[in-house]
Amino acid sequence: MGLFKFLQHAPYKESIKDPDRIKKEYRYWRLRIFYSMYIGYAFFYLTRKSFTFVMPAMIIDLGFTKTDLGILGSVLYMTYGISKFVSGVMSDRSNPRYFMGIGLILTGVFNILFGFSSSIFFFALFWGLNGWFQGWGWPPCARLLTHWYSQSERGTWWGVWNTSHNVGGALIPLVVAVIAQSFGWRVAMYIPGLMCIAVGLYLINRLRDTPQSLGLPSVEKYRHELGKEKENDGSLEQDERELSRKELLLEFVLRNRYIWILGVAYFFVYIVRTAVNDWGQLFLYEQKGFSLIAAGSCIFFFEAGGFFGSLAAGWFSDKFFAGRRGPINAFFALCVTLTVYALWLTPVGGVAIASGIMFLTGFFIFGPQMLIGVAAAELSHKKAAGTATGFIGWFAYFGAAAAGFPFGKISQDYGWEAFIVALTACACLSTLCLIPLWSVKRRKVQAAPAVENHEISQNAIDAE
């Protein structure tokens, strides 16, 4: 246990009393932590998707089949999905400074080991381990976003952070594909690996744990939002004390019906997001007669729309709905239903129209893709943000897996129209799941008695 003691959450320091110093320190650390985890998560994407852009070269060099390489993709989804939940529980009891940094370093190590391999067994082993440590990226970010940014502003900050997905996705072809073409697929695995080891060390240097670990007050105190957060009980201590793993998992996640609803909605949202991303190019090529370049450009507009959709969803939920995520989640999901079906109505050869529809689809799907995570953090407990978001992330990657073989089978056996109908149905189901959460804003934590009993009631939800 002593070997891993440094992974434990940082202890609170003596509180700073000077208001001017508090303001100065908060401004500095909020900016530093934000840009550090933004850069860090973008690089997690670099080592997560590097394999995608070396596959053609591996087929030529090693004689592997698409089925062989498909196994590796499935291994990554499985280990990443499981890890996202397990690491969520672990990260809520850990210091994100080390948890996220070490996770990124190890993804870099396993990318390098992957590049040294030549057998399908070692490819699967190292890619599965890469997937496991990929799961160490998201939960620490959820913890940091929850502790350093209050609910009235969190949607905006989280929305900006979520664009790191798109930045990381844009980096991959620029780095991996170009290196693979120029120097071979092995070098294209080494370079991202080395880059992520360096950035992992950078995260360990730049990140810190909670504000209290630096002697600062909670973000609610700093932002003067205690009146909003503790209307009835004023039990700040309950939100700031460390929770046991039993409380994290059972009281605030598994027994929380709102987390289950968000998880099911996430499942359908990720089916749509992944299916459009993975099958969209082939759909436009085969059904609409686009060239491969034109069809690929439409996927670029999907990612571009996602960039702006994340920003807009977070800002709208903060400014127009006072931190309620339900209305934007439900409205954006409904719009996805319309834009997905509009893909079927795209005229043959209508590249400009398809690009516009893809942009809107990305814009609206990345809204709930981001805000469902915010809602999960806010409807569980401040100290359970990693566990809650990791749990619904498990649902998300089951959805991503479901967008693969099942939707490929639908398009193959029943045609692209059936594919679009099934995708539209998934968008509808996500909307139906999100509508009941329209008025839910946050949960209230009842103060624990002065004795040793620390059971927290999680039944009361603030509906506004």
- Over residues 32-72, the pLDDT tens digits come to 999 999 999 999 988 987 877 777 778 788 887 766 776 78
- Check residue 245 and give its pLDDT: 65
- pLDDT at residue 80 tops 50: yes
Instruction: Answer whether residue 454 shows pLDDT above 50.
Output: no
- 160 pLDDT exceeds 70? yes
Check whether 460 has a pLDDT greater than 50.
no
Q: What percent of the chain lies above the pLDDT cut of 90?
A: 42
Phi first, then psi, for residue 448 (nearest 5°) are -80, 150
Structural class in CATH, domain 18-215 = mainly alpha
Q: How many CB atoms lie within 10 A of CB 192?
A: 27
Q: What is the residue-averaged pLDDT of the chain?
A: 84
Average the pLDDT over each of 252-256, 342-346, 360-364 and give the range with the smallest value: 252-256
Strand partners, 463: 440
Give the range among 212-226, 293-307, 346-360, 437-451 with minimum mean pLDDT: 437-451
pLDDT score recorded for residue 385: 77
On the question of pLDDT at 462 being above 50, the answer is no
Amino acid at 152: S
Average pLDDT (314-332) is 89
CB 19 within 8 A of CB 217: no
Residue with the larger pLDDT of the pair 419 and 383: 419
Beta bridge partners of residue 183, listed in sequence order: none
Q: Quote the pLDDT of residue 444.
A: 52
Residue 457 pLDDT exceeds 60: no
pLDDT of amino acid 32: 97
Which residues of the chain form CATH 1.20.1250.20? 18-215, 245-445
Better-predicted residue by pLDDT, 261 or 72: 261
CA distance 302 to 299: 5
| Average pLDDT score over residue span 346-369 | 91
Specify the amino acid at residue 83: S
Burial 287-308 (b: 16+ CB within 10 A, else e): bbebeeebbebbbbbbbbbbbb
Query: Which of 384, 400, 458, 441 shows the shortest CA–CA distance to 139?
Result: 384
**Residue 302 pLDDT > 50, yes or no?**
yes
DSSP codes joined into one string, 168-233: HHHHHIIIIIHHHHHH-HHHHHHHHHHHHHHHHHHHHHH----GGGGTPPPHHHHTT-HHHHTTTT
| N residues, the chain | 464
Q: 446 or 30: whose pLDDT is higher?
A: 30
As its CATH architecture, domain 245-445 has Up-down Bundle (1.20)
